[in-house]
Copies of this chain bind each other. A is one copy, B any other.
Amino acid sequence: MLNDATDALVPLLPEGVLRDIGPAYLEEPRGRYKGRAGLVAAPRTVEEAAAIVSACARAGVPIVPRGGGTGLVGGQVMPDGTVPLLLSLERMNRIRAVYPEEGVIVAEAGATLQQVREAAAKAGRQFPLALASGGTAQVGGVLATNAGGVNVLRYGNARALCLGIEAVLPQGQVMRDLKRLRKDNTGYDIRDLLIGAEGTLGIITAASLVLAPVPPEVGVAMLVVESPEAALTLLSLAQARMAGGVTAFELISGQGLRFLDAAFPDLRQPFADRPDWLALIEVGLPSGLSADDALEGLFTEAAETGLASDGVIARSGQQAADLWAIRETIPEGNRHIGAIASHDISLPLSEIAGFIRDCSAMLSGMADLRINCFGHLGDGNLHFNLFPAEGKTRDAYDNIRKGLSRAVHEMVLARGGSFSAEHGVGRLKVAELAEWGDPARLAAMRAIKDALDPAGIMNPGVILV
């Protein structure tokens, strides 16, 4: 449904950019928000994107930028306020250039993560950012949300993998800063300001991204640990031994394994008695050191010091993939059960074990429920998700859901953690940010938003109220 403002907008847009408003443009994966769009425009070039933004700025029409639409916090939809134009990056999906000898790729915002990873592999390099949604998630969205994933421990978030961006700023100016430089100290870091701004300060249209060398030796192991404490000590040991060679370090709980049993009885798990806690470790090591030997050495020391009671080391790529499949099927196992509430939190590493213990105790005092705590332990990033007790359904928790989440988040904050580790704020956590964010930082954010987007048209309602 067009309103007057969008009607007036149509003649101002570049020719051929409008698309049919299909339902896929109006959805987000968790189904919490219903999107609306007066128009859907898909530019083919940055100049077309700039023309669209300019026109919207003049007409006062809000813009919702849209990448792959995989975000989990509602940043890709606008359920209320003036009906927006939805700007889809789907046609700006080229890999513009690959520089294998520099370790750099230049990709347009609409290219999927998988496209980038395939182009990197073809050039004998890797793009390290790995998400379950990588076949759909696009470069622009990944940067706008500063996405994480399983390799952050070694390679950093999306932010750390971006050397330069091209973007359209909220009044239609094109910022051309697609540098391929590791060092460039020429004024304010506008790139990092747009990264993580979730489309509220401009639209990223292309980026130069870091490609890393493929480690000559790669290995995967899964170790049984007694507790999160033991997992953290094991992480520390692994990092001390591997000199930066630990690529991923994931925590898996017995509850997660039992959910997998229920949802995917055919999925092969290496330990017949489901352990309380598992650590999944991937290493990437130099030429001359076998990954098997390095993992054996780690396991031996971990066993001798009582950190690990059992473990398997993958002896083939297939076995490695099988171990990873356990970790990567956990979210599906969770969906099968149906969560009461999910929490994407991070904590200082030394606070994690105490948090898991105290928060679990607190919650079991509040309600009869099950907790599946898993995630990127190496980054201090837990997915701390709550599920109905056996025999109950999630509806039974409708009245206490908010209270449970608030209690979790308050404990996270009290321990110096974050209530949004890798998913972002979107619309989902706007109130939390307003309540819990540092006031001076929030005031600076607001001042910057007003300065760069005086008309307030860029993804209104996301991040800032």
Least Cβ distance of A9 to chain B in Å? Answer: 22
Question: Is residue A417 within 8 Å, beta carbon to beta carbon, of the partner chain?
Answer: yes
Residues on B with beta carbons closer than 8 Å to the beta carbon of A179: 416, 418
Q: In the complex, A104 Cα to B351 Cα: how many Å? A: 13
Do B213 and A441 touch (CB < 8 A)? Answer: no
Chain B: CB-nearest residue to A124: B240
Chain B: CB-nearest residue to A153: B182
Contact of A148 among B183, B195, B293, B379 (CB under 8 A): B183
Contact of A145 among B185, B245, B381, B433 (CB under 8 A): B185
Do A420 and B173 touch (CB < 8 A)? Answer: no
Do A185 and B243 touch (CB < 8 A)? Answer: no
Do B452 and A190 touch (CB < 8 A)? Answer: no
Chain A 137-158 interface residues, beta-carbon cutoff 8 Å to B: 145-146, 148, 152-154, 156-157
Which of A16-24, A253-261, A307-315, A442-450 lies at the binding interface? A442-450
Question: If A181-B380, A241-B286 touch, does A440 touch B348 (CB 8 Å cutoff)?
Answer: no
Chain B: CB-nearest residue to A301: B287
Residues on B with beta carbons closer than 8 Å to the beta carbon of A215: 243-244
Q: In the complex, A349 Cα to B145 Cα: how many Å? A: 28
Question: Is residue A101 within 8 Å, beta carbon to beta carbon, of the partner chain?
Answer: yes
Which of A86-94, A111-119, A320-328, A422-430 lies at the binding interface? A422-430
Do B190 and A102 touch (CB < 8 A)? Answer: no
Question: Is residue A42 within 8 Å, beta carbon to beta carbon, of the partner chain?
Answer: no
Residues on B with beta carbons closer than 8 Å to the beta carbon of A390: none
Do A288 and B293 touch (CB < 8 A)? Answer: yes
Least Cβ distance of A146 to chain B in Å? Answer: 5
Contact of A448 among B180, B348, B448 (CB under 8 A): B448
Question: Is residue A365 within 8 Å, beta carbon to beta carbon, of the partner chain?
Answer: no
Least Cβ distance of A433 to chain B in Å? Answer: 6
Interface centre among A154, A217, A284, A287 (most CB of B within 10 A): A287
Least Cβ distance of A369 to chain B in Å? Answer: 25
Chain A 365-388 interface residues, beta-carbon cutoff 8 Å to B: 376, 378-381
Contact of A187 among B148, B160, B177, B463 (CB under 8 A): B463
Least Cβ distance of A453 to chain B in Å? Answer: 10
Do A193 and B189 touch (CB < 8 A)? Answer: yes
Question: If A188-B448, A463-B187 touch, does A380 touch B182 (CB 8 Å cutoff)?
Answer: yes
Question: Is residue A271 within 8 Å, beta carbon to beta carbon, of the partner chain?
Answer: no
Q: In the complex, A213 Cα to B240 Cα: how many Å? A: 6
Residues on B with beta carbons closer than 8 Å to the beta carbon of A286: 241-243, 245, 285-286, 289, 294
Least Cβ distance of A427 to chain B in Å? Answer: 13
Do A452 and B444 touch (CB < 8 A)? Answer: yes
Residues on B with beta carbons closer than 8 Å to the beta carbon of A439: 173
Do B444 and A169 touch (CB < 8 A)? Answer: yes
Question: If A102-B349, A418-B183 touch, does A287 touch B241 (CB 8 Å cutoff)?
Answer: yes
Question: Is residue A52 within 8 Å, beta carbon to beta carbon, of the partner chain?
Answer: no
Least Cβ distance of A382 to chain B in Å? Answer: 10
Question: If A288-B294, A463-B188 touch, does A243 touch B245 (CB 8 Å cutoff)?
Answer: yes
Question: Is residue A350 within 8 Å, beta carbon to beta carbon, of the partner chain?
Answer: yes
Residues on B with beta carbons closer than 8 Å to the beta carbon of A294: 286-288
Least Cβ distance of A285 to chain B in Å? Answer: 5
Residues on B with beta carbons closer than 8 Å to the beta carbon of A423: 185
Question: If A180-B416, A244-B215, A350-B99 touch, does A185 touch B422 (CB 8 Å cutoff)?
Answer: yes
Do B99 and A185 touch (CB < 8 A)? Answer: no
Pairs across A and B, CB under 8 Å, 15 listed = A102-B350, A156-B160, A174-B440, A175-B440, A176-B438, A182-B379, A185-B423, A186-B419, A186-B437, A187-B425, A214-B240, A243-B287, A287-B297, A288-B289, A288-B297
- Since A187-B464, A287-B297 are in contact, a sample of 17 more A-B pairs with Cβ atoms closer than 8 Å, ordered by chain A residue number, is A101-B236, A146-B185, A159-B189, A173-B440, A181-B346, A181-B380, A182-B346, A182-B379, A185-B196, A188-B196, A189-B189, A189-B195, A240-B287, A288-B289, A288-B294, A444-B452, A447-B452
